[in-house]
Amino acid sequence: MIDWYFGAPRRAYGLICLACVLMLAFGLYLQHVVGLEPCPMCIVQRYALVLVALFTGLAGVFRNVGLRFTGGLLALVAAIGGAYTAASQSWLQWYPPEVVSCGRDLYGMIETFPLKRALPMIFRGGGDCSKIDWTLFGLTLANWSFIAFTVLSLLLIVLLVRSRRAR
């Protein structure tokens, strides 16, 4: 099974891209169907997932080994950034601050601010980063996100090391 995955790096990058797209779809499901409002840190993690999906998708398309390596390296940087953000959010959830400083009410932003100021605030997210809205097996979304980004990072490291050795 491992040789099937790592033996064909383009296939591996494609599967990582697919996993990222599925995680993004799940996040959108939680937001639009379940009704969980993403916080600013959740939005950053989504951007990191988009970047990992984009770079691994491109790495899977490229036949040139150098371009594939560069795409994998950029995906690794994005995955590490996502893991850092998820770890920071997990820390906030375990040790919430006395005063919450992230997040605003969406409708309050639209009513209070002009549209050109409200739009960037909307894309920053509006939920409370330290609030735990959803758990699975005792782990929060931030915990699961950290696990996912860590697994993605490890897979990308193995792919990059194997591609370097193959050269």
**Domain spans of the chain, in order of start:** 2-166
- Lowest model confidence (mean pLDDT) among 54-58, 105-109, 154-158: 105-109
What is the average pLDDT across 107-126? 61
What is the average pLDDT across 35-53? 89
The predicted pLDDT at position 131 comes to 73
Looking at every residue in the chain, the average pLDDT score rounds to 81
Does the domain at 2-166 match CATH 1.20.1250.20? Answer given as no
| Spatial separation of the C-alpha atoms in residues 43 and 38, rounded to whole Å | 6
Q: What are phi and psi of 147, to 5 degrees?
A: -60, -45
Q: Could you tell me which residues are beta bridge partners of residue 136?
A: 139
Higher pLDDT, 80 or 124: 80
Which CA distances in Å does 74 have to 91, 92, 94, 145, 153? 26, 27, 30, 19, 11
Q: Band the pLDDT of 73: cuts 50, 70, 90.
A: very high
What is the average pLDDT across 137-144? 88
Which of 3, 26, 146 shows the shortest CA–CA distance to 87? 146
